[in-house]
Structure formats: C-alpha cells, structure tokens
Amino acid sequence: MSNIGSYEKRRENFSWDIAKEVLKWEEGEILNIGAMCSDRICARGDGEKKALIWQGFGGKQKTYTFNDLRVLSNGFAKFLKELGVEPGEKVCLFMDKIPELYVSFLGVLKMGAVAQPLFSAFGDESLEVRLLSADTKVIFTTRKHVKKVRKIQDKLPALEKIVVVEGNPNKLRDEEIYFSMEDFRTEDFTAYESGPDTPSVLHYTSGTTGQPKGAQHGHGSVWGQALTTSWVLDLKDDDIYWCTADPGWVTGTSYGIIGPWSLGVTQCVLDSGFTSAAWYQFIQDNKVTVWYSAPTAIRSLMRDGEGLVKQYDLSSLRHLASVGEPLNAEAVIWSEKVYGLAFLDTFWQTETGSMMITNFPGMKIKPGSMGKPFPGIVAGILDLNTNEPVTEPGTVGLIAFRPGWPSMFKEYVKKPDIYRSKFVGAADDAMPAELRVDESLWYVSGDRASFDKDGYYWFVGRDDDVINTGGHLVGPFEIESALVEHEAIAEAAAIGKPDEVNMEVVKVFITLNPGFEPSDDLELNIMNFIRKKLSPLAMPQDIEYMEKLPKTRSGKILRRYLKALEWGHDVGDLSTLEDD
C-alpha cells in the first residue's frame, strides 16, 4: 500500500502540517535536523535499528545503528563546541562518501553551526571560491584531500581549523587537528534550539556570469524533505533505501541524509565508484527496496544491457525514482521492461530544497514527463516575455513556483540582489523584503517547460548557459576564468555539448596566445589543468580552437551563438554581433 494515496485527494486536503504527523513530531519537541535524525529516533525506541550500511572499495563494510548516529554525532558537536565554533558559523565537510561525512553532517547541525558539504572531487580553486564566499571557520577533510586545503589556506582568512578525520595523525602538519570519530563517542549533548529559519545547510550552485552562489537553507526544510520522502519515494519503516547521490550536492543531503533518517529508515551508501555490475551486486547483497538515482547512471545501465541485469537477483526492489536532469522516455520504458518497475522522474533544485514537480507511486506515468506539482506546491509556466502565467497547454515558458514551501532557500550568501532577481510579479519599488513567504510573487527556476491538457509538465531546457553534465550544474564563467589562467590561452568560452549518457559535457572554444599552436599535447594539458583546478565535471571533453570568439559590439562573448551552432538550433537575432 503506497504512502501517497490519491493525488487529487492529497491536493484537496493538503497542509504542510501533515509532515509533523508523518514524522510523529509533536509541538514542543526540538526542531533541529541533527537531533531529529538521531536522538528523536532513539527516543521513540528505534535506537538499535540499522541506520547506515556503508560499503567502500574492496567490499569493506560498516554498519551503524541510530544510537551510533546519536553518540557519534554528539561527539562531533561537542568537539566543535570545544574548538570555539559558534552557532551560525560555517563548517565545511570535504570528504568522500565515508561514514564520517554523514555523521559529521548531523553533528554540525546539532551544535547549531551551518553544514557546508562540498563535492570531494573539487580542485583547490573550486574549493577556495566556496570557502572564501562562506567565510568558513572549520573544515573536516581526509588525508586524501587535505593537500588541496593546504594549497589555499593562506588565502582564507576566516578558516581557523583544519580537521582530518582519518589516516595517520603523525603525518599531519602542526596546525592540523586529527579527529577519530570512534574515539569521541559522547552519550550526552544538548542540541541547539533551532527555529525553522535557523541556518542549517549551505549548498553552492553554479551561475552563468559570476562565481557560484551559496543557497542557504533552514532547519524548517525538514518538513518538505520528510513529506516528499514519504509520499514520493514511498519510504516505509522496513525499507532498505539507496540514494546514489553524493552529499556534496543537495540531493545527497535532502534525500541521502535528512529525508530517510528523519523517518527512521535504514539506508545504504556505496563509496566505490560506478560499474553496472557493482551496483547490481550492491542491490542484491543489501536487498535494496527503494532506489533513487540519476538519468546519467540509468543510461549507463541501459548501455550495459538487459543480459547483465539477469545475472543478479533484484527482486527486493519495489520502487525507483530519478533526479538531477530530464529522464528520457526511453529510460522509463527500458527500466519497466528489465526491472519490472519504471523509474519515476522528479524535478527540483538546490534552491527549492525538496521535490517540486514529480511522478507519484500509483499515478499514471507519461514517459518523458516530469509529472505534476507536489501537493502544496503552486507551480506555473511564465511567459518568456511578460512573466505572466500562461494558460494554454503546450506553451513553452519558465517553470515558476509561488513562495512559501518549507524547504525553500532563505538567501544567496552575500548576494541579496541576485536573490531578489529570482522573484518576479511585483514592481521593483514594491518588492517585499520577505520574499520567501510572499505568495503574490513567483520564484523563477531558470528552466523551461510546458504543461499538457492533463496537467503534466514536460521539460524543454535551461533558460541560461549553465551546463548540466550528469545532473550536476557547472557554471561556464568559472571554467572560462580558469582557462584564461593557462599560459597558452588568450580567450575562452564554455558551453554544454550534447552527450548520450551525461546529457551534456563541457566543450570550450579558445583563442591562443602568440607562440602557441594547437596540438594533442596542448589539448591534454588544458584538460588536466581544468580538472585539477576545478573538478573532473568541469574538464572539457572537446576543445575547438578559433582565431577569434564571436562577441557583441560591447565585447561580451556570445555563448548563445556558439551553443546554437553546436546543437543545430536557430542562432536567433545576431544584430548585436560585432562586425568582422
């Protein structure tokens, strides 16, 4: 029996207070995500229930109960307090998907600090930009990644402590602190009394013309994350759940930590890279019942074929869902054929914090559709020119939502003007200060779509130049800024290039400085230069050399023109293109 019931009935009788009923949360109980995902589960009698089944390289496995989460996260919280960290200060979590990442996330929130998880594949420059923006005070990392931190620590005046959570303590520098999670088990810690707007998690998202933006969330986000986890992912007490996302991205925290653990559900984590065989083996060994993954992975599984699927017992699976980028109809049909279950597409963003437009268990699936707005979410398609809601099915416009859902971001750190620009619907001089609760406005997602006569939404594409590679958004500005630091490159433009598996990969157009000529060695050097400075996601898969880049008369590089040529689209109005 599904948790969702009738979609229409849920919409008619909806209140976000239903989340409190689902969580068995009563007025007066603490609203602190760290405590709600550990202490509260233990208090209701489930302390010895498995919370985390972790597997690393070589099949190494560790298991943690909810009581383990409680005392180990207490240890992190107490340690931070003793370091002098104050509530509201930023603590970065920069590590692979090891148990310490998941437990420290709860500990940071318990003591009232802000958790800033960052993707461990980031290079030192990507790391520097985000730590500098956040004024991060403490970073938890590993011996593998501490070298990146060392390269930039002199450029980070707010960074006071570097804490390494595993490895050989004797190989650390004098100013670095070694922390063994198991040695800091702490029975008692009083969690910080948070309110719904108390800052909790800070995730960074890419932009087209500036540095990454820090989207700040609050502890009240748990209401949206828990309810969507219950209704869309359909998690029940006896499920074994697997979210394949890294907590360096919002899916990995909203639905890889907060959603399942706030409901007291056991989850699995695999930290050993991707192969189809390894994933199927993991599902078989752990009897995974609910699987939340990404289209990039699904397309890779498709490529390896149905024959491989038949070599494993995947009969434990009962529900599949997808996130991060559009799920093509072929993937939905294929998954239903080979697994006996269709992957259900879900649409949301870093800024929204939880699912916004989704397919539900028991709801008719239209392969290729994003589904319908989650109950309690008021969605619309805005006209591309007027920002007024369209009423005609099939009209392409911008996906937008009325503010007021509990998981909506509170601000872009240090970027109030950009935050305000995400909302439309009132004259600038009448724009309310409290944007997130003004239901006369629209939050504009930056994605284009249409809806059909049945109310199903259909994704069209991004409205800006952000590159969606494997479900991760990469800002072209950041890539271009790094490229021009290379000694051979005079100018650069980055766009997304179509790719069958990853949806898009990075392609760059460059002009060379005098004395340099195109060559295979130079191309490889440029690729590695970006991979090390930023991340593997930002590394160009294709480099095209040009004598000069197309620009407007004012000197702005026309990425739109380059992308239209690459994708075979109409190049549009070129009246502003500079003369030859």
Give DSSP secondary structure letters for 99-129.
HHHHHHHHHHHHTTPEEEE--TT--HHHHHH
User: Of 257, 449, 232, nearest to 344 (Cα)?
Assistant: 232
**Mode of pairing for the β-strands spanning 290-293 and 319-322:** parallel
**pLDDT at residue 575, as a whole number:** 42
CB burial readout 137-156, b (16+ within 10 A) else e? bbbbbbbebbebbeebbeeb
pLDDT at position 573 is 46
263 contacts 313 by C-beta, under 8 angstroms: no
- Amino acid identity of residue 311, one-letter, is Q
Q: Is the dihedral of CA 448, 450, 451, 456 positive or negative?
A: negative
Distances (CA, A) of 564 to 224, 253, 328, 343, 397: 38, 35, 21, 31, 19
Looking at the DSSP assignment, which residues form a beta bridge with residue 267?
52, 241
Domains of the chain: 7-358 (3.40.50.12780), 382-462 (2.30.38.10), 467-567 (3.30.300.30)
Q: Are 206 and 473 in contact (CB under 8 A)?
A: yes
- Residues in the chain with pLDDT values less than 70: 1-5, 207-210, 426-433, 552-556, 570-580
For the chain, how many residues are written?
A: 580
What pLDDT is attached to residue 570?
66
Provide long-range contacts, Cβ within 8 A and 24+ apart, for 336-339.
Answer: 337/306, 338/306, 338/309, 339/309, 339/314
CA–CA separation, 375 vs 224, rounded Å? Answer: 11
Sign of CA dihedral 497, 470, 165, 409: positive
The token pair that represents 341 in the structure block: 């279950």
Distance, CA of 135 to CA of 335 (rounded, Å): 44
Which residue from 228, 250, 249 is spatially nearest to 321, judged by alpha carbons?
A: 228
Which residue carries 């994708």 as its tokens?
A: 567
Cβ-Cβ contacts under 8 Å for 203 (sequence gap 6 or more): 117, 214, 215, 217, 249, 250, 253, 350
Nearest C-alpha neighbor of 512 from the set 538, 549, 551: 549
The model's pTM is 0.87
Q: What angle, rounded to 10 degrees, do the helices at 99-110 and 66-83 form?
A: 60
Q: Which of 549, 485, 534, 479 is nearest to 507 (CA)?
A: 479
| Identity of residue 315 | S
Q: What is the pLDDT, as a whole number, of residue 556?
A: 65
Q: How far apart are CA 269 and CA 248, in angstroms?
A: 14
With residue 308 as reference, give the H or E element that holds it: helix 306-309
3-state SS of the chain: helix, strand, coil percent to 5? 35, 25, 45
CA atoms of 562 and 509, how far apart (whole Å): 9
| CA–CA gap between residue 219 and residue 407 (Å, rounded) | 9
Residue 503: the pLDDT is 82
The one-letter code for the residue type at 284 is Q
**Pick from 398, 408, 413, 406: which is nearest to 445 by CA?**
398
389, 373 contact by CB (below 8 A): no
